[in-house]
Amino acid sequence: MGMARWWGQTLVDSQRALRLPCWAVIPEFYQFFLNTKILFQAGISQNFGHECEQLGVQKLFLICDPFFAQNGLADSIQEALANSGIQTVGRFSEVPPKSEIQVVQKCAEAAMASGAEALLALGGGSAMDTAKTANILFSLGGDLVNDYSGSQTISEPLKPLIAIPTTAGTGSEVTSSAVIFDEASQSKLSFNDFNLRPTLALLDPEITLSMPPKLTAMTGMDALTHAIESYTSLQANPMSDALAMKAIKIIKNHLLSAVRQGDDLEARSNMLVAANMAGIAFDHAMVGVVHAMSHATGGIAHVAHGLANSIYLPFGMEFNLEVAAERYAGIARRFGIDTRLLNTDEAARAAIAYVKQLRKDLYVACGLEFRLRDVGVNEDQLEAIAQAATEDGTSFFNPREVGYDDVYLKIKEAY
Ligand code: NAD
């Protein structure tokens, strides 16, 4: 998600050079632009034929992971579409949790051969990111890694993409980025372009009811990390702030309920909306050191993205405490902490303590690990992770410079 070329570049470059957040004032320049239509309704995934018609689409190609092929959801969506005259002319249901370049290529080839006019992604971040990048090849052809990895590399709009998120975490249904593992370089490659945003995002909380507790917890912590990091990013702006703060409050109120009572539709609805809002926030503001460490850990030690974010979140907040205390104090209030008798530093520390406690509560509720050593990371990988974190593009948007020595210490603490 980090990038050299990005809109608002002039401001961001100068801010980045000075490490000068402009949180207290309206930035000299910001841009807010969302080319995704968002619809929320329980059951909407079974009733969107008219939306396809509005897009001029009669033939869809469905992309999902094996879970939805097996549990019958993919079939029932296809059937509902067929009842409104929309044909599903092909399906790719082999998206693994860690999607990679060859999977995307295979998926795009199948989509091209099917004669579809548009893509439909059903799944978590892995399926949606696979569909987003497959859409590049499906629409424009070319070489995915050499022609399109990096930032703002897509010169024209892609074919329509409809995204149905099945986790409440990544926000990928509204973001302009996709992250795909590259076997050749053994790293996660970023693709960033406005044209990658899905045309239509359908938020159906009923679909998220099937998430087991631990998946609910880790994806919910992913959304919380998006909200907190976008709020303290160098590129934060009043629009992203509003979305991030609202998302934090919703997650505070509903994450534990969604984990403890998976059939609580109200909690599921709130979490899906919060993840969506946090996605829009970070897509505009960007993220920071927590994501830098998570991307590095995902690439080197293959830890799931949401889990890595959950482990690193309080350590990243501590890392930024000296420059972001005021913002963390605001977050403390969203967490429901009474900060009236606390100074800024105390309030900020209370926010970090809250996140640490939340991780403990999640561990008790569903066993969500909170140390790197418990999720398959070896101590001899920590140096490589710290090095990769300093080089990750998201570091550039962090309010404090991400130097090797300091970030290594935090990673060691998280171990
Ligand atoms: P995921 O898509 O990798 O899915 C993880 C597992 O959960 C899969 O086995 C899947 O079958 C299962 N699953 C998904 N929905 C389910 C449901 N409703 N019920 C039961 N099981 C379900 O998980 P994720 O956390 O959503 O996505 C992670 C990926 O998203 C990573 O690759 C990460 O890099 C990427 N990501 C992308 C963005 C973006 O803006 N593009 C942002 C954050 C993360």
Q: Please report which helix (H) or strand (E) contains residue 177, including its range.
A: strand 177-182
Closest residue by Cα to residue 282 from 333, 352, 322, 232: 232
Q: What is the pLDDT of residue 27?
A: 86
Give distance in angstroms: CA of 345 to centre of ligand 1. 35
Q: Answer for the pair 292, 311: CB distance below 8 angstroms, yes or no.
A: no
Q: What is the pLDDT of residue 278?
A: 98
Question: Atom 42 of ligand 1 has which residue's CA nearest to it?
Answer: 170
- Of 71, 172, 280, the one to substitute when testing ligand 1's pocket (max ligand atoms within 8 A of C-beta) is 172
Give distance in angstroms: CA of 222 to centre of ligand 1. 10
Question: Atom 15 of ligand 1 has which residue's CA nearest to it?
Answer: 166
Domain-wise residue ranges, the chain:
4-31+211-414, 37-208
Give distance in angstroms: CA of 123 to centre of ligand 1. 7
CATH of the structural domain 37-208, one choice from 3.90.226.10, 3.40.50.1970, 3.30.420.40, 3.40.50.970: 3.40.50.1970
Q: Are 4-31+211-414 and 37-208 in the same CATH fold?
A: no
Give distance in angstroms: CA of 39 to centre of ligand 1. 20
Q: How far, in Å, CA of 64 to CA of 252, rounded?
A: 30
Per-residue pLDDT of 108-163, as tens digits, reads: 999 999 999 999 999 999 999 999 999 999 999 999 999 999 999 999 999 999 99
Q: What is the pLDDT of residue 6?
A: 42
Question: Atom 19 of ligand 1 has which residue's CA nearest to it?
Answer: 211
Residue spans of beta strands (DSSP E) within 18-117: 37-40, 59-64, 87-92
DSSP 3-state of 192: strand
Give distance in angstroms: CA of 167 to centre of ligand 1. 6
Q: What is the pLDDT of residue 12?
A: 56
State whether the beta carbon of 65 lies less than 6 angstroms from ligand 1: yes
Which tokens in the block code for residue 19? 């490490």
Q: Answer for the pair 47, 81: CB distance below 8 angstroms, yes or no.
A: no
Question: Atom 2 of ligand 1 has which residue's CA nearest to it?
Answer: 124
Question: Atom 32 of ligand 1 has which residue's CA nearest to it?
Answer: 126
State whether the beta carbon of 48 lies less than 6 angstroms from ligand 1: no
Question: Atom 39 of ligand 1 has which residue's CA nearest to it?
Answer: 172
Class of domain 4-31+211-414 (CATH, top level): mainly alpha
State whether the beta carbon of 64 lies less than 6 angstroms from ligand 1: no
Helix axes 344-366, 213-231, angle to 10 degrees: 160
Per-residue pLDDT of 283-340, as tens digits, reads: 999 999 999 999 999 989 999 999 999 999 999 999 999 999 999 999 999 999 999 9
State whether the beta carbon of 190 lies less than 6 angstroms from ligand 1: no
Which tokens in the block code for residue 312? 């690193």
Q: How far, in Å, CA of 332 to CA of 231, rounded?
A: 13
Give the per-residue SS3 of 281-342: HHHHHCCCHHHHHHHHHHHHHCCCHHHHHHHHHHHHHHHHHHHHHHHHHHHHHHCCCCCCCC
Q: Answer for the pair 59, 33: CB distance below 8 angstroms, yes or no.
A: no
C-alpha distances in Å from residue 101, one per residue of 53, 69, 157, 183, 190 = 31, 21, 21, 8, 11
Q: How far, in Å, CA of 131 to CA of 122, rounded?
A: 9
Neighbours of 146 (CB within 10 A): 8
Q: What is the pLDDT of residue 19?
A: 60
Q: Could you say which DSSP state residue 369 is in?
A: -
State whether the beta carbon of 196 lies less than 6 angstroms from ligand 1: no
Q: Answer for the pair 181, 100: CB distance below 8 angstroms, yes or no.
A: yes
Q: Answer for the pair 354, 251: CB distance below 8 angstroms, yes or no.
A: no
Q: What is the pLDDT of residue 337?
A: 97
DSSP 3-state of 27: coil
Rg of the chain over CA atoms, in angstroms?
Answer: 20
Q: How far, in Å, CA of 203 to CA of 208, rounded?
A: 10
Give distance in angstroms: CA of 209 to centre of ligand 1. 15
Buried b (16+ CB within 10 A) or exposed e, 67-77: bbbeeebbeeb
Give distance in angstroms: CA of 64 to centre of ligand 1. 11
Q: Residue 218 CA: which ligand 1 atom is closest? A: 25
Give distance in angstroms: CA of 362 to centre of ligand 1. 18
Q: Answer for the pair 7, 27: CB distance below 8 angstroms, yes or no.
A: no
State whether the beta carbon of 305 lies less than 6 angstroms from ligand 1: yes
DSSP 3-state of 175: coil
Query: Residue holding tokens 């970030």?
Result: 407
- Of 94, 100, 170, the one to substitute when testing ligand 1's pocket (max ligand atoms within 8 A of C-beta) is 170
Give distance in angstroms: CA of 142 to centre of ligand 1. 26
pTM for this structure? 0.95
Give distance in angstroms: CA of 185 to centre of ligand 1. 22
Closest residue by Cα to residue 123 from 215, 58, 195: 215
State whether the beta carbon of 123 lies less than 6 angstroms from ligand 1: yes
DSSP 3-state of 107: helix
The residue type at 403: G
Backbone angles phi, psi at 403, to 5 degrees: -90, 155
Q: Residue 129 CA: which ligand 1 atom is closest? A: 41
The residue type at 329: A
One digit per residue, the tens of pLDDT, for the chain of length 415 reads 333 334 334 445 555 555 656 666 788 889 999 999 999 999 999 999 999 999 999 999 999 999 999 999 999 999 999 999 999 999 999 999 888 999 999 999 999 999 999 999 999 999 999 999 999 999 999 999 999 999 999 999 999 999 999 999 999 999 999 999 898 887 788 999 999 999 999 999 999 999 999 999 999 999 999 999 999 999 999 999 999 999 999 999 999 999 999 999 999 999 999 999 999 999 999 999 999 999 999 989 999 999 999 999 999 999 999 999 999 999 999 999 999 999 999 999 999 999 999 999 999 999 999 999 999 999 999 999 999 999 998 999 999 999 999 999 999 999 9
Q: Could you say which DSSP state residue 234 is in?
A: T
Backbone angles phi, psi at 162, to 5 degrees: -105, 130
State whether the beta carbon of 51 lies less than 6 angstroms from ligand 1: no
State whether the beta carbon of 124 lies less than 6 angstroms from ligand 1: yes
